[in-house]
Structure 1
Amino acid sequence: MFGKVLGVQNKPRRSIYSLTLWTGLTFFFVAASTYFLSQTRPTVDYFHGREPKSEPSASHQNPLLTNEGIERFALDHGYPRLGESANFTSLRQLCDSTKWQRHVYFTCTHNLGGLMNVRNMVLNCVRYAIAAGASGLVMPQIEARDPTVLKHLKTGEYQKMSYLFDDVWFKKVMKENCGQLKLLDTFEDITNSGYATMPDLINIQALMGQPPGNRQGRLRNKKPWEFRPRFDKLVQSRSQKPSWRTPVIVRLDDKALFSFPPSFDSPELARNFGFILEFRLDLSALSNVIVNRARKTLNDRTGNDPYVGLHLRSEADAGKYWASWDLLANTTISVATKNDIKLIYVASGDTDGVAKLAKKAADLGIKVLNKWSVLYADEKEFLQPFRFDQQAIVDYLALMRSDRFIGSGQSSFSSHLILRRELLASISSSEEKGVEPESTPRDQLVGPGRLGYWDMDWP
């Protein structure tokens, strides 16, 4: 009985054992074969023969979105900037010859508008602080304009200097060449700032006895040599004189935009003073990448492709009587054609205008580029969150290195590019023996000019 019982129970066990054995043998052979093949098969290049991607896709671990990654990027691509070769001897001489006074401080807060307007305001405020012999300067701030409605400039949103500029560079240059003007990070760093005498915002035109105005050069200080005695008189007229207990804190209003004429200073100072401001390093590095790629668009590895730079100032907030899209586009294409240049780099917030220009130029065999068409996906991911005026830094530096430049005559952005490019051209011709400036103008402003605004921009 036990045998029958055992016999009945053995059949299913034999089947189970057999199944287990065959499963084990099968797994062994498959594993062995896989291992053998993996050791003997040739390496396969899965990307061989494929079209290279025009832009690497962004990842969630984009190094440009980390502090370490952007520092590495800036180090790799932030080539020596123009300010590093500037001569600040004249600035040092100015500061050494200035009569400095104690307990008088300047703040540069009301710096607003487009990129070049903000730059000129900051430079003017610093220059007036030196002229006044102020004992200290609170680091400049920037009033950021409305990100959605660009014509709304007075927003009350204040950003640090690093919003647009390299504050580390600014501190270094000023300390080395004008150390008498102490730089303070915040208003609270002024001793007894809570007891300071706070005069109303100072209007330079009123201080100089000039009629107020915003147009035709009326912002210009026509007698800058009289500023110091008038300023000293204003300070001394207050009931509480500057002291350790009651310091004077000076705030210029936003009419200092085109106030201090660079021609008042020596040519050497006028040429170099603007270099105390350099744009933030990360965006400067990104611009270098754009220029290098743009110059390889046609001939790839040579990196010698010339391009015409265009500031297409045709956004919705452009002035009614400014250069039209047609005038800017036609002039640019004409310059490119005459100089046998097949590339146009365009800076503009007018996306429809850029697309229309690209189509028009393509019919003549000319390719149109902008920052978004040149940058890779991870770089776009880095640049996208920046505001309009911050992104303008990238365009400004790319246009500055173009072979020809076309801009709007009423734009401070365009007109300053002309100034800076002329300055760099004159420096190059003077440094290279036997090299004469080009007889044919490299740059052109089209449309109505900035009448009355001569001698007001720091190059």
Structure 2
Amino acid sequence: MGVRGRYSSRRFGRHIKVIAITFFFVLLWTFREQLRLDRYGLDSSIVSWIPRPPQDIFDFEPLNSDVIRAVCSATEWDAKSKMQVVFTCDNNVGGIANIRNSILNCVRYTMLAGGSLVLPRIFVPSESDTSAIGTGRRQNLGYMFDRDHFVESLRLSCPQLRLFNNTDEVFERIGRPRTWSLGLFPESLVEEENIPSTGIEHPDKWKSLLYEWLDTIDENIDVAPAGQPPNGPMLVDLGRSYLTYPIDHDGEVFATTFGNVLKFRADVRELATATILGIDRHFFGAHLRTGGEEADDGLARWAPSDPMWQWTEYAKQTDAYFDQAGRWDLSVMYVGGGNETQVAVMEADAEPRGVTVVTKRDLLVGENRKRLDALGREHQEMIDFLVMLGAAQFGGVGYSSFAWNVALKRHIFSVEKERFLEGPQMLSDELSQTRRERGVLAQREYRKRHASKVQKLQDENKKLKDIIGDINKALERQGDLSEDLRAALSKARDLAGIGSSISTEDEASTSNESSSGQQTEPLDPAIEEIIRLDPTIAGELVPTGRLSPRLDYGLWIDPDRIIRILEPPVDIVPYLGSGMNTLAGCIFWSTMNYTIDLWNSRSTPLSTKYLDRMFNHSKHLTDRQFLLSLAQARVDYKEKGFMYKKLSEQFERNAMNELYQRIKAEYEMRGQPSRWWKRPEEVADTVLSMLGDALRDRFQAVIDGHGTKEDAELLRPLVTWLAQNFICFGDGPRWSSVFVSVAVGSWLNEMKRRESLEA
């Protein structure tokens, strides 16, 4: 007998299918994020061997505000005065909106007094009793907010304001207080019964009233708490002051940015990010509140005689939300507030309407669900707050401070800034509806905006047009004009959009024939500031008539200035040729021209502020003159088909792409993938995907240069907003995906509103 050999290859062959299938699933699991499999419930957080930075689309840099800095610079501070005042802010209680407002009030009153502030503390609510908003236990600022962000924001925006970690640090650095801590409700220094709903009428007088009160106390102090003669600071504990400071007093820019000194803590932001990315489409945000401000116990806290009672009913709230979502064709509704029973009922009510109801618990799985369950009720409410900011439409009730705060925060991105408190609801704009029967408003109105730049341009252009018309009439009355003068006059008339007053029978006939057909009304030059519609230069977005010198004057001074480069920079290739006559091209070239205009007017604080926003987000964008010369060179190429050479690397065809790679790496290190930031073509795709064929054709006609004035006026707000609210990524502009959703949703809703009014 021979010896039978055993071949391992045959044994291996029997298992090759199992190995192949296993390998396939390992690959599928590893690349599931790129394949978007997580949308169906797979959780990346349980794969510990694949390192992933936390995703946080709600993170932002510390506030560095020129407006707030100007207010602080104009304030007389007490650091070197005989009497110093240190405020504590330990009575912050309630839901996230109330606590946020209370802390901001403390900071603003401290600025107003020119005093110092001990870092605020927060009352911990009861987990078992939802009506018990204060338990007697306090936590530091980091319980809800990013402490370092708060400290750094005030250091940058108001460096004169001294912050202390606690009262012990006050005693060590300034001395023992003159008296025991003095409790003070800020509004108590004025006639409280006469305070209007918009807040105290003369905040500039509050400081003098404060010092009168402190002087009276100081005069009657014999011995300080330490048993020594009083020579230390006055310690004032600010009571919970809700909506007493008139935010419109400081101007709109201050009012809309001041709240950014507070940023929610990181774990809340990360879970909110996971929640909103899990929705992955436009959605309606509904804040369900069927009880009092802090209760979810139905009608128990309200009597039928109360004018707000009817809005505490579940059916009235949800019917309003479903109606609002239906009018804007939103089939996904994210619900915050309420309780599990109410949400379950709402899911059943939504099904016949073709609406899917989701909550954060539906969208967070695996480790993220465990993190959510470990959070307190107030922290879970903070997740809802952030998610609601990204909704295409939002609805809430007027007696909820949560709904008011969300709606007012979203109103910053509204196209229609005026009359948002004039109905039909307590707050109504194209992004939000805060419902309650009309009554005395307990919230702040934003200061009425001054005349916009566009309105000013319209007025100036009307005057220019009138002057050209007068010159035209005067010269034509003289008759016998030279050919050169006639040609110049014709160009002036064309520029102003007016016709010749000379009319022959043939010209009259032609005019009558033309008027019988459909006319395309010429655009106002103010509209052309962003969207160029002249058919002879279709797609060009180059502002005309600038008085300031071009950026390249003084930048390129060597002999190679006259050498032309015919190769385009690679980053603008998608926006040249036919790419100019696209929505993406329109957006891109608008940002280039807007940036150059800002640079030319950089001596003004507002222009500097906007340039700061574009470039300060990255350490690689510090050389602004270099960056602006790149932008000017690209505009040159679009206009002329070439750009001038300079003996430096700034005109390398790949210069901006290399810069982008560095910025991209910087953002990846922060845990912010570049895919969260949208390019012009991605923004354009989002817009076009939400338009019907007819509307797309109309807007394309506007971009091509032969659209109507009415359609241009519809498109202009979107392009203007995008041109004014981007950040530089080296190779071009970018916009946050969340704010693109809000801006596009706002613009679409405004168009629908206008169409409904015209119907």
The TM tier, using the shorter chain, reads: 0.7 to 0.9
1:124 to 73, 83, 105: 105
Residue 132 of structure 1, CA deviation: 0.8
Within 1, Cα distance between the matches of 2:61 and 2:157?
Answer: 13
Task: Report the secondary structure of 1:201's partner residue.
Answer: strand
Deviations 1:366-388 (A, max 9, x none): 11111000111210101112111
Residue 211 of structure 1, CA deviation: 3.7
2:76 to 83, 91, 99: 99
1:184 aligns with 2:170: no
Contact 1:259–1:456 (CA under 8 A) maintained in structure 2? no
* Higher deviation after alignment, 102-111 or 122-131: 102-111
- Pairwise mapping of residues 52-63 of structure 1 onto structure 2 (< 5 A)? 54-56=40-42
Deviations 1:283-312 (A, max 9, x none): 1122122111102xxxxxxxxx21111001
Q: What's the counterpart of residue 212 of structure 2? A: 233
1:113 aligns with 2:88: no
Taking structure 2 as the reference length, what is the TM-score of the superposition? 0.48
- Pairwise mapping of residues 36-435 of structure 1 onto structure 2 (< 5 A)? 36-37=11-12, 41-42=16-17, 43-46=19-22, 54-56=40-42, 76-79=54-57, 81=59, 84=61, 88-102=65-79, 103-134=84-115, 136-192=116-172, 195-211=177-193, 217=197, 220-237=199-216, 238-239=218-219, 245-254=231-240, 256-295=241-280, 305-314=281-290, 315-316=296-297, 319-320=301-302, 321=309, 322-426=311-415
Residue 169 of structure 1, CA deviation: 0.7
Going from structure 1 to structure 2, the CA distance change for 1:179 and 1:252 (only over 3 Å counts) comes to same
Within 1, Cα distance between the matches of 2:75 and 2:283?
Answer: 45
Within 1, Cα distance between the matches of 2:268 and 2:47?
Answer: 16
More helix as a share of residues: 2
**Paired residue type of 2:285:** G
Task: Report the secondary structure of 1:45's partner residue.
Answer: helix
Task: Report the secondary structure of 1:425's partner residue.
Answer: coil
Going from structure 1 to structure 2, the CA distance change for 1:344 and 1:167 (only over 3 Å counts) comes to same
Instruction: Considering Cα pairs closer than 8 Å and 6+ residues apart, tell me whether 1 or 2 has the greater RCO.
Output: 1
Within 1, Cα distance between the matches of 2:235 and 2:109?
Answer: 13
Within 2, Cα distance between the matches of 1:108 and 1:450?
Answer: 31
Residue 442 of structure 1, CA deviation: 2.7
Residue 426 of structure 1, CA deviation: 4.6
**Paired residue type of 2:192:** Q
Within 2, Cα distance between the matches of 1:411 and 1:331?
Answer: 16
Within 2, Cα distance between the matches of 1:385 and 1:211?
Answer: 44
Residue 34 of structure 1, CA deviation: 9.9
Going from structure 1 to structure 2, the CA distance change for 1:292 and 1:266 (only over 3 Å counts) comes to same
Task: Report the secondary structure of 1:175's partner residue.
Answer: helix
Going from structure 1 to structure 2, the CA distance change for 1:426 and 1:340 (only over 3 Å counts) comes to closer
Deviations 1:117-156 (A, max 9, x none): 000000000000111110x211111011111112212211
Within 1, Cα distance between the matches of 2:417 and 2:202?
Answer: 33
Residue 340 of structure 1, CA deviation: 1.8
Within 1, Cα distance between the matches of 2:58 and 2:232?
Answer: 43
**Paired residue type of 2:289:** R
**Paired residue type of 2:41:** E
Going from structure 1 to structure 2, the CA distance change for 1:386 and 1:141 (only over 3 Å counts) comes to same
Within 2, Cα distance between the matches of 1:440 and 1:418?
Answer: 9
Within 1, Cα distance between the matches of 2:110 and 2:416?
Answer: 28
Task: Report the secondary structure of 1:310's partner residue.
Answer: strand
**Paired residue type of 2:124:** A
**Paired residue type of 1:355:** A
Residue 349 of structure 1, CA deviation: 3.5
Contact 1:90–1:269 (CA under 8 A) maintained in structure 2? yes
Residue 317 of structure 1, CA deviation: 6.7
**Paired residue type of 2:233:** P
Q: What's the counterpart of residue 300 of structure 1? A: none
Residue 113 of structure 1, CA deviation: 0.6
Contact 2:416–2:430 (CA under 8 A) maintained in structure 1? no
Within 2, Cα distance between the matches of 1:425 and 1:95?
Answer: 29
Contact 1:220–1:258 (CA under 8 A) maintained in structure 2? yes
Q: What's the counterpart of residue 6 of structure 1? A: none
Residue 448 of structure 1, CA deviation: 3.9
**Paired residue type of 1:88:** S
Within 1, Cα distance between the matches of 2:187 and 2:144?
Answer: 27
Task: Report the secondary structure of 2:433's partner residue.
Answer: strand
Residue 236 of structure 1, CA deviation: 1.9
Going from structure 1 to structure 2, the CA distance change for 1:205 and 1:428 (only over 3 Å counts) comes to closer
Contact 2:117–2:163 (CA under 8 A) maintained in structure 1? yes
Q: Which runs of 5+ in 2 are unaligned?
A: 30-36, 291-295, 303-308, 419-427, 448-759
* Higher deviation after alignment, 146-155 or 420-429: 420-429
Residue 261 of structure 1, CA deviation: 1.2
Contact 1:323–1:447 (CA under 8 A) maintained in structure 2? no
**Paired residue type of 1:45:** I
Going from structure 1 to structure 2, the CA distance change for 1:449 and 1:167 (only over 3 Å counts) comes to farther
Identity fraction in percent: 22
Q: What's the counterpart of residue 664 of structure 2? A: none
**Paired residue type of 2:278:** R
Q: What's the counterpart of residue 22 of structure 1? A: none
Deviations 1:323-359 (A, max 9, x none): 3211121111112222221110110241111111111
Within 1, Cα distance between the matches of 2:279 and 2:237?
Answer: 43
Within 2, Cα distance between the matches of 1:440 and 1:272?
Answer: 20
**Paired residue type of 1:177:** S
**Paired residue type of 1:421:** R
Going from structure 1 to structure 2, the CA distance change for 1:191 and 1:456 (only over 3 Å counts) comes to farther
- Pairwise mapping of residues 15-30 of structure 1 onto structure 2 (< 5 A)? none
**Paired residue type of 1:253:** G
Within 2, Cα distance between the matches of 1:362 and 1:105?
Answer: 56
Within 2, Cα distance between the matches of 1:174 and 1:244?
Answer: 30
Q: Which runs of 5+ in 1 are unaligned?
A: 1-24, 64-68, 296-304, 430-438
Going from structure 1 to structure 2, the CA distance change for 1:259 and 1:244 (only over 3 Å counts) comes to same
Contact 2:179–2:230 (CA under 8 A) maintained in structure 1? no
Taking structure 1 as the reference length, what is the TM-score of the superposition? 0.77
Task: Report the secondary structure of 2:78's partner residue.
Answer: coil
Task: Report the secondary structure of 1:159's partner residue.
Answer: strand
Residue 198 of structure 1, CA deviation: 2.2
* CA root-mean-square deviation: 3.6
Task: Report the secondary structure of 2:183's partner residue.
Answer: coil
